[in-house]
Structure 1
């Protein structure tokens, strides 16, 4: 996996900062209440960790790259699934990366990167589309759990991107809430290409756009500038199982 260098490209920030702050506060409170109800312990989103984890963007990228290498060569370790790990995680979590990926059943992040319990915060939406819930979930991982890496993971043959491109070309509306997804992806459509090349190019353009929007969020951008966070775009190839960088 060629994703070794951290990056973030600020563009226009997403709107409604007040709503984002409210959502972030709600997520923090909900996580604490959920922990207390589930295990009968004091609310906590993190606790002293006994397992080492990557603490810098570069270390996090190298760990994901190593896991993807194991996955695509059928040498998975299926780490962090033991009884000891499960017991440790009762009192808190210390994941090292947020992976924002598509909902496609063929691209589960924990498998693609050969990671286990407590290693990743995974946020999934069709076509990696951002809305307030998705943005709040990503921000929660970074701001509350001090995660050093956000990876925006698109993939080959994305159905959401295909639907957006075909709807744009035909002018036909898509059913129910699927049209919302298409509308969000539409600005990334590469009209310089035709046919399958247009769909493929749009997949990459959409990854770049989502990455840039996240990197431009004020709270996240401040961490990028300080070297505490990287926002990286990457793509998973179904044919080879390789994850590679999309700059």
Structure 2
């Protein structure tokens, strides 16, 4: 300010020191960057079993290779001690299996798999009810499992009991009628097919269950359409342990 006239005059003002100017500019830039910067994305965590991250086709091939080893009696040695620590933090199975509850069927053995490899849902007759569908939704959406296998087997007692109940028009005790109701569509759909009636019903049950899971909205159907997951069906042979893919 000019003391003589009372108006500002640049020639009479003290210039801002260079160091102060630079510090102020740096502070302004820092504030501007902070306001516009987006939070950095956290890197995706490493899955417990990285070798289980694969495509649906690769998962199916691995599953069937394991079954071949099982048939030949040359199963791999699985080191559960080494896997234990990795699996404490989570799981990322490469296949989810809907299997019958029959004690003669053990998917982990049949496909020569270790802990954390298979996500298994078991129910007598290997059919898909709402709870089972929810379990597979969890496997596909949360665990990112790329393959779902519906695994039936020959000489299935649940299917045979359903056929007998329908033929004799008898009502089974307890909660067994709900099982009969779930398996009846397969028995009826296979009624006119040539060949062994029980075998036909078992195969039809697997096919219908595969269709149910593929069409289950909104999660499983979307995953199938996006090719993030493949749903297939197979029959386990008690005589030699072979799994035949039929759907």
Tell me which structure has the larger Cα radius of gyration.
2
Q: Establish whether residue 210 from structure 1 lines up as the match of residue 240 from structure 2.
A: no
Partner of 1:20: none
**Structure 1 counterpart SS, 2:232:** strand
2:125 to 124, 127, 131: 127
Deviates more, 1:199-208 or 1:221-230: 221-230
Cα distance in 2 between the residues matched to 1:72 and 1:234: 15
Kindly state the Cα deviation for residue 47 of structure 1 after the two structures are TM-superposed. Answer: 5.3
Kindly state the Cα deviation for residue 51 of structure 1 after the two structures are TM-superposed. Answer: 3.8
**Contact persistence 2:133–2:216 (CA under 8 A):** no
Matches of residues 58-137 of structure 1 in structure 2 within 5 Å? 58-79=57-78, 81-137=79-135
**Structure 1 counterpart SS, 2:223:** helix
**Contact persistence 1:193–1:201 (CA under 8 A):** yes
**Contact persistence 1:153–1:207 (CA under 8 A):** yes
Q: Establish whether residue 231 from structure 1 lines up as the match of residue 231 from structure 2.
A: yes
Cα distance in 2 between the residues matched to 1:106 and 1:73: 18
1:184 to 167, 182, 206: 182
Cα distance in 1 between the residues matched to 2:54 and 2:173: 43
Partner of 1:29: none
Kindly state the Cα deviation for residue 132 of structure 1 after the two structures are TM-superposed. Answer: 2.0
Cα distance in 1 between the residues matched to 2:67 and 2:241: 8
Structure 1 segments unaligned to the other structure (5+ residues): 1-45
Partner of 2:172: 174
Partner of 2:242: 242
Cα distance in 2 between the residues matched to 1:150 and 1:159: 23
Deviations 1:134-169 (A, max 9, x none): 111111111110111000000010000000111111
Kindly state the Cα deviation for residue 50 of structure 1 after the two structures are TM-superposed. Answer: 5.1
Count of paired positions: 200
Kindly state the Cα deviation for residue 129 of structure 1 after the two structures are TM-superposed. Answer: 2.2
Cα distance in 2 between the residues matched to 1:115 and 1:221: 27
Cα distance in 2 between the residues matched to 1:50 and 1:239: 33
Kindly state the Cα deviation for residue 193 of structure 1 after the two structures are TM-superposed. Answer: 4.8
Cα distance in 2 between the residues matched to 1:199 and 1:178: 19
**Structure 2 counterpart SS, 1:174:** coil
Higher relative contact order structure (alpha carbons within 8 Å, sequence separation ≥ 6): 1
1:141 to 139, 142, 146: 139
Kindly state the Cα deviation for residue 82 of structure 1 after the two structures are TM-superposed. Answer: 2.9
Partner of 1:8: none
**Contact persistence 2:153–2:238 (CA under 8 A):** yes
**Structure 2 counterpart SS, 1:122:** strand
**Structure 1 counterpart SS, 2:141:** helix
Cα distance in 2 between the residues matched to 1:168 and 1:240: 31
State the Cα RMSD in Å.
1.6
**Structure 2 counterpart SS, 1:145:** coil
